Amino acid sequence: MSRFVIEGGHKLQGTIRASGNKNAALAVLPACLLSDQPITLHNIPDIQDVRTMLLIMQDLGAEVCQVGDGSWRIHARNLHKTELDPALAGRVRASFVISGPLLARMGQVSLPIPGGDVIGGRPLDTHVQGLRALGATVALEARQGVFTIQANPLHGGGYFLQPEASVTATENTVMAAVLARGETIIDNAASEPHVQDLCHLLNQLGARIEGIGSNRLRIQGVPSLGGGEFTIGADFMEVGSFIGAAAVTGGAVRIANASPADLGMIGLVYGRLGVAWEVDGPDIVVPAGQSLTIEPALGGRIPEIKPMPWPGFPPDLMSILVVLASQSQGSVLLHDWMYESRFFFVDKLKFMGAQIVLCDPHRVLVQGPSPLNANPQGVTSPDIRAGMAMVLAALCARGVSTIHNIQQIDRGYEQVEHKLRALGANITRLDS
């Protein structure tokens, strides 16, 4: 087991380059299974979830070859399996997204209930409903925890995503629909940048998808897809995390190739906590001396911040927002209505000195600023985003902190300690 040892109190200064979008990578990689032609993908982040996805695809028979830094060539001409390895699928939530392309290409798929972060209930009903709307039969062997899905064959249809505009269910349904017979219309579709990247890639391969970026996708099925080359965008979750790190340490940071157009709502919400940045072409520049003052609601009331589907504030940055709020003047109520376990890491921040009230599983009240003290005994990273939030807390705390179970952070952040050291942080990775 690896851990980070972090000495806090150092202002971050300098330039780093944004990594490719984790969630885009975990969608465009399985999309390569839809074609028997070679596909080259660029800007793929070197993170644990991506490595696991590549292993799953190799196990199914796809040829996987790294052709450059962040560039991979996938050739799925001879798939010989339709059953996912349970050990591999159990490591990553996105393994279920393979069901759409495998079903469309091979006519069947068998896969276990996926793994991933433990941040609350993340039901698969929306995925199953989408595949059934295209004519698939889905059976779950509850005792073994294995889904068996058959195409009968797939045909176009209308589908309204409910109870939520699920990103992965949208991606899965789109990938199944591009090779289905006839027209498919997906309403209440997710429209995040990573969903848009997937749709643009598929269209480049020969799919016919209209309405990209909206909540209604119209898909005309095609007999087959070809090969091609595609570059995914920056990871706005990583960018938002490093903006937060610069702000809480009082530093000045430039993030290169940050896809500023994807940061609109993040900028508005961070601005309510007194954090702002400048856009310089494809880069963003976070200046030193942020005000870090929470803007009250009308009448001086405590403001409430909630995540929302795109283009709203992304739920994966709520953990980062907790640390940012703890270092800002004033009070704010953070309400993550999507995941009931998102805030169960805040006891670790309270131990370090943060003034936080866990109101219920979905809401925390944060009062700042609170000087944080290091936790040398160590805290355990429960999931990707909470782990990164603890890194931010350690960076601005007095003394030396230890963070365990950092393989959770590795699942979503590429070489995070190297990037932080390039900015002047005192962070060391130790392996037990």
Which residues participate in catalysis according to the annotation? 117
The CA distance from 320 to 144, in Å, is 36
The CA distance from 397 to 352, in Å, is 8
Residue 143: half-sphere exposure toward Cβ, Cα within 13 Å: 0
Place of tokens 């900028």: 267
Instruction: Please say whether the beta carbons of 242 and 213 come within 8 A.
Output: no
78, 80, 81, 82: CA torsion to nearest 10: 50
Task: For residue 41, list its beta bridge partners.
Answer: 72, 230
The dihedrals phi and psi of 405, each to the nearest 5 degrees, come to: 60, 40
The CA distance from 428 to 424, in Å, is 12
Within 214-290, residue ranges assigned H as helices are: 236-249, 264-271
323: its two tokens: 């640390």
What is the pairing mode between strands 208-210 and 158-160? Answer: unpaired
The CA distance from 177 to 85, in Å, is 25
349 Cβ partners below 8 Å, 6+ apart? 322, 323, 326, 356, 372, 389, 390, 393
Cis bond before residue 193 (omega within 30° of 0): no
The CA distance from 167 to 182, in Å, is 23
Q: ∠ CA 41-46-47 to the nearest 5 degrees?
A: 120
- What is the residue-wise DSSP string for 344-365? TTHHHHHHTT-EEEEEETTEEE
The CA distance from 34 to 103, in Å, is 9
Nearest to 296 by CA among 331, 334, 247: 331
> How many C-beta atoms lie closer than 10 Å to residue 98's C-beta?
26
362 Cβ partners below 8 Å, 6+ apart? 335, 336, 337, 340, 342, 343
